Structure 1
Amino acid sequence: MTASKEIVVLTETVRVQQDDYISLTDIAKYRNADDPRFVIQNWMRTGFTVEFLGIWEQLNNPDFNRVEFEAVRNESGSNAFVMTPTKWASLTNAIGVVSKSGRYGGTYAHKDIAFEFASWV
């Protein structure tokens, strides 16, 4: 992924990739500029989010691991449940949310998912 453009939303500059993946990290900075990853993790641990991500993946990803998704869904919402973008992708073979390190790094999501995240923030 390489940054193709930036848009300004309220007070934040948000990176958008050529393949319609939007930076969740940049969106999360609106709530917590110092540690946006915690905003993303809190969103990902809710039962609603896990359900939403699972439905999106089932519609858009033929390689989605539905068996592992069921295990994640059963755990979601509990007080001890923790989910990160990297963990989600590795467990379920997800493509809708991706984390990248280095230049232009951060957590990116397909625009459908990014808009849902933005409405939660």
Structure 2
Amino acid sequence: MMDRTKLNVNELEIVLFKQNEKEYISLTDMAKFSDSERSDYIIQNWMRTRNTIEFLGLWDVLNNPDFNSIEFDGFRNESGSNSFIS
């Protein structure tokens, strides 16, 4: 079961999810702070950065017992390049 909590930050509603004692924050809601009309582009650009890819890889190492680190290396090596599409 997933619990939801809503926060009001600078007049913007951001949803927090809690499942199995772990908390998650809505990236879409956070992106709306930068551009409420085009939050999809904010996330798309964020997903292309090497730092984000490395963060996601570390998160998977810690939380996903089936994480395929060899396949991930391909994503990490391409991240940040102009041709990289996540």
Q: Measure the CA separation in 2 of the matches of 1:37 and 1:65.
A: 27
Q: Which has the higher contact order (CA 8 A, sep 6+)?
A: 1
Q: Measure the CA separation in 2 of the matches of 1:55 and 1:18.
A: 20
Flag the 1:3–1:41 CA change in 2: closer, same or farther, 3 A. farther
Structure 1 residue ranges without an equivalent (≥5): 84-121
* Maintained 8 Å contact 1:15/1:26: yes
* Percent identity for Structure 1 against Structure 2: 48
Structure 1 residue identity aligned to 2:6: E
Cα RMSD for the two superposed structures: 1.5
The number of aligned residues is 83
Q: Which runs of 4+ in 1 moved over 2 A?
A: none
Q: Deviations over 1:56-93 (max 9, x none)?
A: 2111211112121101011100011121xxxxxxxxxx
Q: Measure the CA separation in 1 of the matches of 2:30 and 2:3.
A: 15
Spell out the pairing of 1:40-119 with structure 2 (5 A cutoff).
40-83=43-86
Q: Measure the CA separation in 1 of the matches of 2:25 and 2:52.
A: 17
Give the match's secondary structure for 2:43: helix
How far 1:18 moved relative to its partner? Answer: 2.3
Structure 2 residue ranges without an equivalent (≥5): none
How far 1:2 moved relative to its partner? Answer: 5.2
User: How does the TM-score come out when normalised to structure 1?
Assistant: 0.63
Give the match's secondary structure for 1:71: helix
Q: Measure the CA separation in 2 of the matches of 1:73 and 1:79.
A: 13
Aligned position for 2:10: 10
